[in-house]
Structure 1
């Protein structure tokens, strides 16, 4: 799961980033209106934490931009402005939740997980396809009720592929979801290839009822066997 934090208070941004990374989320950050706009145009996110008052612009305008781009990123507004008008405007523009500063980090984390469950997994923590059962929150995978250990990237890839079952996922979308804007780590997609190769072998060796199929030159598709 990939999250974008748009927040200009450096200390708060860092606390939120660290707390979400402990929960195994992939986290990116933006501290100005312009840098945030560049990211939401260039990438897709599972959840955006959005401050309203930003250097260079208003966070509600970013919400409008998401709407103009027809993007379905989940948005939680985090703002010191406890104005009913701001809340209503934000929710009317498509925000999923509104949290007023100051707040407890544990509450923010719980709301992020709730939004992700509600939208991405239809309110459930567990994805079941065939003999495979993946627990998104606990980050565990069972095949025929037997645990299969995956590394972090393998798990993130499999989760993304399960959510997009039977859809062709191109390499760029997959890379952006798993590595965010740190694409240099993927070493020109070779690292992605090696992670998927290992994942496919583990699934096959453990008689998984799904397979990640390669579509030459384009990307991958997860199908049920």
Structure 2
């Protein structure tokens, strides 16, 4: 899952980044309003951790813009400004949660998991489609109760396709979500083809009742067979 941290305090930003990367999220950062504004305008995220007080603007304005653009990224306001007015304003603007500083990183991780689970998987602890069952907590995949071992990127690709199972996922969207915004520097999508090929073989060998359909020149769509 892909997270954006908008935080201007360097040590806090680094602590949050390390914590979430240890949990194997794809994490991007922005230390000011301008950078954050560019990122939310170009990319989509499962969860945005948003500081209100930024050196060049108000984080709540970013939240307002996000909602005006019709995006449904999950948002947790993370701020030392713990007044009731700020909390109410943020929630009224569409934030999903509010976490006042200081906080334990374990609580941050729990809040992020709850947002992702609620928004992408209807609040379910396990994700089931056909005979495939995924446990996001342990990042494990079982097919017909047998565990199928996937590498990190194979798992991320599968989870993203399942979370968008009713949609056609473009190669660009898949690359940005699974590999992060540095994907802009890539010359081709060959690395995606490699992961998809390996993932397909593992699903077929395990007799999964889902398959990844390639839409020529566009991207991929998950099908239940």
Number of equivalenced pairs: 225
Moved more, 64-73 or 159-168: 159-168
Which position in structure 1 is the counterpart of 2:62? 62
Which position in structure 2 is the counterpart of 1:201? 201
SS in 2 for 1:94: coil
Which position in structure 1 is the counterpart of 2:102? 102
Which position in structure 1 is the counterpart of 2:182? 182
Is residue 176–residue 183 contact of structure 1 (8 Å, CA) maintained in 2?
Answer: yes
Q: Distance in 2 between matches of 1:187 and 1:209?
A: 34
Q: Scaled by the length of structure 2, what TM-score is found?
A: 0.97
Which position in structure 1 is the counterpart of 2:19? 19
- Against the structure 1 CA distance between its residues 187 and 206, is the aligned structure 2 distance closer, same or farther, given a 3 Å change threshold? farther
Which position in structure 2 is the counterpart of 1:128? 128
SS in 2 for 1:76: strand
The CA deviation string for residues 21-73 of structure 1, in whole angstroms up to 9 with x for no partner, is 11111100000000000000010000000000001100000000101100000
**Alignment pair present for 1:113 and 2:113:** yes
Is residue 186–residue 192 contact of structure 1 (8 Å, CA) maintained in 2?
Answer: no
Q: Scaled by the length of structure 1, what TM-score is found?
A: 0.97
Q: Distance in 2 between matches of 1:219 and 1:104?
A: 40
SS in 1 for 2:107: helix
Is residue 77–residue 99 contact of structure 1 (8 Å, CA) maintained in 2?
Answer: yes
Q: Distance in 2 between matches of 1:215 and 1:140?
A: 27
Equivalent residues in 2 for 1:161-172 (5 A)? 161-172=161-172
Which position in structure 2 is the counterpart of 1:42? 42
Runs of 4+ aligned residues of structure 1 deviating over 3 Å after TM superposition are 184-187
Shift of 1:138: 1.1
Cα RMSD, aligned residues only: 1.0
List gaps (5 residues or longer) in structure 2: none
SS in 2 for 1:8: coil
Is residue 118–residue 124 contact of structure 1 (8 Å, CA) maintained in 2?
Answer: yes
